[in-house]
Amino acid sequence: MLVKLKRVRSHYEDRKLALCLATSAGLLNAVALGAFGLFPSHMSGNISQLPGDLSGHDLWHLRMFAAMIAVFIAGSVIARIGIAAGIRNGIRTIFSCLLLAEGVMLILTSLFEVYFYSPANNAEVVLLLAFLMGLHNSTSTQLSDGRVRATHITGTLTDAGIAAGSLLGGWLRREQHLTFSTSKLQLSTHLLTVCSFLGGGMAGMLLYRTMGFSALAVPGMVLVSTALLSIAFTLYRTRKSRFIMP
Helix, strand, coil shares, percent, the chain, to 5:
85, 0, 15
Residue 56 confidence (pLDDT): 57
| Higher pLDDT among residues 215 and 239, named by residue | 215
pLDDT at 79 over 80: yes
Taking only the tens place, the pLDDT of each residue in 218-235 is 999 999 999 999 899 888
Q: Are 102 and 136 in contact (CB under 8 A)?
A: yes
- Is residue 178 very low, low, confident or very high in pLDDT (cuts 50, 70, 90)? low
pLDDT at 98 over 90: yes
CA 186/CA 191 separation, integer angstroms: 9
How many degrees, rounded to 5, is the angle at CA 100 between CA 102 and CA 129? Answer: 10
Average pLDDT of the chain to the nearest whole number: 82
Percent of the chain at pLDDT exceeding 70: 82
Output the pTM of the full model. 0.84
Average of pLDDT values for 142-149?
82
Q: Are 92 and 3 in contact (CB under 8 A)?
A: yes
pLDDT at 175 over 70: no
Residue 246 confidence (pLDDT): 47
- Is residue 164 very low, low, confident or very high in pLDDT (cuts 50, 70, 90)? confident
Average of pLDDT values for 179-198?
82
Taking only the tens place, the pLDDT of each residue in 35-75 is 888 777 776 655 555 555 555 555 667 788 788 889 999 99
pLDDT at 135 over 50: yes
| Higher pLDDT among residues 62 and 99, named by residue | 99
| Higher pLDDT among residues 131 and 10, named by residue | 131
pLDDT at 105 over 80: yes
Least confident of 130-139, 151-160, 174-183, 195-204: 174-183
Residue 73 confidence (pLDDT): 92
How many degrees, rounded to 5, is the angle at CA 230 between CA 224 and CA 236? Answer: 135
Average of pLDDT values for 145-158?
79
Q: Which residues contact 141 (CB under 8 A, 6 or more apart)?
A: 148, 149, 150, 152
> Dihedrals φ, ψ of 173, to 5°?
-90, 0
Closest by CA to 149, choosing from 118, 190, 186, is: 190
Residue 245 confidence (pLDDT): 46
Taking the CB of residue 200, how many other CB atoms lie within 10 A of it? 28
Over its C-alpha atoms, the chain yields an Rg (Å, rounded) of: 20
Element (H, E) at 56: none
Taking the CB of residue 235, how many other CB atoms lie within 10 A of it? 12
